[in-house]
Amino acid sequence: MENFKHKSTAQSVCHISVNQIDITQTAQPSAMKYETFVIKEANLLKQQTVYFFLKSKGISESYINKLRKKSGLILLNNTPANLKSSLKENDILQIAKDPSTKQTQFGNNSTAQSLQILFEDDDFLIVNKPHNLSCMPSRSHFNDNLGNLICQYMQKQNPNFVLRIFNRLDRETAGIVIIAKNLFSYNALQKHRKDVKKEYYALCYGNIKEKTITINQPILTRTENGINILKREISPKGKSATTHLKVVKNFENYCLAKFSLDTGRTHQIRVHTSYINHPLLGDRLYNSIQDCKNASHTMLLLKSISFQHFRTQKIIQIEVDFPQDWKQFLK
């Protein structure tokens, strides 16, 4: 179960490892869920209305527009209200956590994969994605993907669930994936995106003598006949990208390295390690140096992640173990 450690500050930390969550639970019937506010200092608002209160809380215009769609998405003192409704001190304002009218509909999942849940509450679902599983449907993986597994799981809690993955991983990359259960939690996480700390681990070709390396090289999406293709490349025309590499251990002809990113470009670690001639083991797209037969996929793992929960203010820290097929390389 969750292990809480309290700091001397107002924040507390929730440490979670892969084996700590018991996901056995009884499915609850779906019902509209609300975010509740007690109105204080209403006189400081530009206008004392629901709209200007929501804007003062940093709620996006797109979210607010969804609240216009139908009655019951805004409640004021338990009575349906609208964005023009007047507010006074100590009013109780409730807005729908997920005012979307469209649910996510994917195919039927035919894979034997199961969902490995690391953390769950009313706002977030955090799972451990294995290698060789796409996050989202594609032409070749329409049924067997993480999105399908998540939607099937969430149907028991909310038949109108809309899939919102905060951090998508490449199909061959394993590790931690955060799913926002409602639009409110998704917007809150996006607003503080740069404060979400991630640590990736990878097996790189060759030995790296330096203990740490910082790679600052812009990354460009390649095009053919004006159409974007999967592969990226280093180019002065690309978007800025910064990768910090720290060598954990050198083995005979490869090494284990830890990575943190200042930017989040597609394939960033894969492109940057290839650029310094230490491509990832198993990376058939960017590794032209070595025979990848010993690795059935790109050896890249999002191993740990931490962020401050917008509601509880606790620091959620989650870490997973290395996948089983890594063990032979780490002996």
- Residues annotated as part of the active site: 170
DSSP state of 121: -
Is the distance from CB of 119 to CB of 126 less than 8 angstroms?
Answer: yes
Distance (Å, rounded) from C-alpha 182 to C-alpha 37? 17
Distance (Å, rounded) from C-alpha 44 to C-alpha 86? 14
CB atoms within 10 A of CB 233: 17
Is the distance from CB of 264 to CB of 219 less than 8 angstroms?
Answer: no
Is the distance from CB of 312 to CB of 299 less than 8 angstroms?
Answer: no
Is the distance from CB of 265 to CB of 232 less than 8 angstroms?
Answer: yes
User: What one-character-per-residue DSSP string does 144-188 give?
Assistant: SBHHHHHHHHHTTT-TT----BSS---TT-EEEEEEESSHHHHHH
